[in-house]
Amino acid sequence: MTDSEILSMNSLSEKEYYELHLQNLTPLNLKIDVDLFLNEIEMYQEFFQQWGDVHKEFARYALPLVNLDGKLIDDDPACWPLDRWNFVEKYPHYKNKDWTDEHVQDWKDYFKELSIDDIVNELYFKKHTPLYKKLTSVSQKLNILDNHLLRTCILKWDYLGHFKKHIDTLHPTKWLRLWGTTNPKGMVLRYEDGGSMIPEINIEAGRLYLHDSIRPHEALAFDDGVYQFFIALDLESIPIIKELL
């Protein structure tokens, strides 16, 4: 597959996807200075907002760097699980509500025959917020990918903050995902393998990885102040990603 062929694509086949994703977390030659980031992020704590509208008993927050319109707003869809955001847009009476039998049934019915092209997805998020440039520890490392950034957030989890087992997209996929953390010793990231959830080891603090978000995965923080870099990219970024592998 040549670079020109990549640039004309609007999705990756499973074969093409795994030509890039050599393992669950494929390290890239991009590393954020954790000390600088931790110093900078202290100035912007007020911009973190709750991740979505459910499971608020767990400390899960997000700060948007690339969102729909580049504005800093409350209840930003960039700071939600997008399956939940789309569901609540259709069924607003379930927002901030506990899971009842009716709630669960409407959830299952909604996603039964839904196409990714029919809902707000990562491709909608293309505008840098003012926080992107202010966090120089992040933006100066990502500048090679500036024109390819889709939904991008800083996640902040405290003790027991977590994402349950899930996938982020399906084959054929229309975007890539990068991931990293400031504190790999304070969290665990696990991928499904043969029916078991296996933890990743040797994660380097600040290192950005090409993340296999199609493989079922889950994560849990067992420390406070665990930051993660949650970055989506369009497929035109692939020639750059190849250089960074």
pLDDT in tens, 72-131: 999 999 999 999 999 999 999 999 999 999 999 999 999 888 888 889 999 999 999 999
CATH of 3-75+122-244 given 2.60.120.330, 3.20.20.70, 3.40.640.10, 3.40.50.1100 = 2.60.120.330
- Three-state SS string across the chain, please? CCHHHHHCCCCECHHHHHHHCCCCEEEEEEECCHHHHHHHHHHHHHHCEECCCCCCCCCEEEEEEEECCCCCCCCCHHHCCHHHHHHHHHCHHHCCCCCCHHHHHHHHHHHHCCCHHHCCCHHHCCEECHHHHHCHHHHHHHHHHHHHEEEEEEEEECCCCEEEEECCCCCCECEEEEEEECCHHHEEEEEEECCEEEECCCCCCCEEEEECCCCCEEEEECCCCEEEEEEEEEHHHHHHHHHHC
Asked if the model's pLDDT at residue 180 lies above 90, the reply is: yes
pLDDT for position 115: 83
Q: How many CB atoms lie within 10 A of CB 23?
A: 12
Band of residue 7 on the pLDDT scale cut at 50, 70, 90: very low
Q: Can you give the pTM of this predicted structure?
A: 0.94
Q: Where are the domains of the chain?
A: 3-75+122-244
pLDDT for the residue numbered 57: 93
Average pLDDT along the chain: 94
pLDDT at 5 over 80: no
pLDDT of residue 185: 97
At 13-59, the pLDDT tens digits run: 999 999 999 999 999 999 999 999 999 999 999 999 999 999 999 99
**pLDDT > 60? residue 134:** yes
Q: What is the pLDDT of residue 99?
A: 93
Is the distance from CB of 177 to CB of 213 less than 8 angstroms? yes
Residue 105 has a pLDDT of 96
Helices 101-112 & 82-90, crossing angle to 10 degrees?
A: 100
